[in-house]
């Protein structure tokens, strides 16, 4: 006696509506899994944040960093002067502000350098 163990395969054909339904189910399943992963990541982030806040509270307070001195109202910080005295620099800044018709406190000068005719 001989037995044949050949498997019979049958092909099932889907209609367009069944194919669209299976595609929709797959799409929804992928979106649901992504939402679950996002929730898991948010949960881990929350837990890590809580533990790090607790450790920060236990540590000694850090020394305060030295801050820059308070500037006068309308001041724009430091200016570097190269071969120029304060009076000349003040006149140059006033002339520039007058020519541009902008208030001096709205301009920011970084440096002023005197250029002699011999240096050219």
Strand partners, 112: 81
Mean pLDDT value across the chain:
82
As separate numbers, helices (DSSP H) first and strands (DSSP E) second, the chain gives 2, 2
In a domain, 35, yes or no: yes
Any domain includes 54: yes
Phi-psi region of 72 (alpha: psi -120 to 50; beta: other; left: phi over 0): beta
Residues 50 and 19 in one domain: yes
Burial tier of 101 (Cβ tally within 10 Å: 0-12, 13-18, 19+): exposed
Distance in angstroms (rounded) separating the CA atoms of residues 64 and 44: 32
Confidence at 25, pLDDT banded by 50, 70, 90: very high
The mean per-residue pLDDT over the stretch 39-55 comes to 90
Residue 40, pLDDT > 70, answer yes
Residues 52 and 87 in one domain: no
In a domain, 70, yes or no: no
In a domain, 65, yes or no: no
Residue 26 and residue 54 in one domain? yes
Instruction: Please state the domain count of the chain.
Output: 2
| Residues 84 and 56 placed together within one structural domain of the fold | no
**Does the residue 19 lie in any domain?**
yes
Q: What sign does the CA torsion over 46, 49, 55, 61 have?
A: negative
Asked, for residue 1, whether it belongs to a domain, the answer is: no
pLDDT at 73: 62
Residue 69 lies in a domain: no
Is residue 8 one of the residues assigned to a domain?
A: no
| 105 alpha-carbon distance from chain centroid | 31
pTM higher than the cut 0.95: no
Confidence of residue 99 (pLDDT cuts 50, 70, 90): very high
Structural domain boundaries enclosing 95: 80-119
């Amino acid at each position: 006696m001989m037995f044949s163990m050949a498997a019979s395969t049958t092909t099932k054909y889907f209609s367009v509506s069944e194919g669209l339904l299976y595609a929709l189910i797959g799409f929804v399943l992928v979106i649901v899994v992504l939402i679950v992963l996002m929730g898991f990541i948010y949960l881990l982030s929350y837990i890590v944040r809580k533990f790090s806040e607790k450790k920060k509270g236990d540590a000694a307070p850090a020394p305060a960093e030295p801050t820059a001195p308070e500037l006068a109202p309308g001041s724009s910080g430091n200016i570097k002067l190269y071969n120029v005295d304060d009076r000349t620099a003040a006149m140059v800044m006033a002339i520039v502000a007058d020519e541009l018709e902008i208030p001096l406190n709205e301009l920011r000068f970084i440096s002023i350098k005197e250029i002699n005719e011999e240096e050219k």
